[in-house]
Amino acid sequence: MVFGGLNYLAILGAAIGAFVFGSVYYGVLGKSWMAALGTTETGMKGAGGKMSPLPFVIAFIAELVMAWVLAGVLGHLGVGQVTARNGAISALFLWLGFVVTTIAVNNAFGRHKLALTLIDSGHWLGVLVVEGLIIGAFGV
């Protein structure tokens, strides 16, 4: 994969867009997600009664790496083929082939509820599609 000459502003924007999407997504589905995980809001907080910022930092870094790799993949579509539409379609196929399958296997062996698999998979679908749309719109 060629990663030189990528549009790093688009990559950063895609990661920020994905992070905002996740905030809204889990803002709406947070209680259902915690129930599927078998925890509560209190259980998510540490001994000091506050949520650690570390998971949020890790999430943003992961979404930044995903955007960077997605930009590299989209760059292989060829001249004139990097569009918002093709970015979203490519993101959907990458999600279907790699993300949802991995989550499904891990959650099956972890004996997690189907609801957790659906909620988390839906989140990562949204993350990838948002990133694909942004990178596709701004170009690689």
Structure tokens at 69: 């790799």
Place of tokens 């609801």: 115
* Percent above pLDDT 90 for the chain: 86
Contact 8, 75 (CB under 8 A): no
Average pLDDT over residues 89-118: 98
Looking at the predicted structure, is the pLDDT value of residue 2 above 60? Answer: no
Contact 99, 121 (CB under 8 A): yes
With 0-12 / 13-18 / 19 or more C-beta atoms within 10 angstroms meaning exposed / middle / buried, residue 21 is middle
Looking at the predicted structure, is the pLDDT value of residue 1 above 50? Answer: no
Average pLDDT over residues 85-97: 98
Contact 88, 133 (CB under 8 A): yes
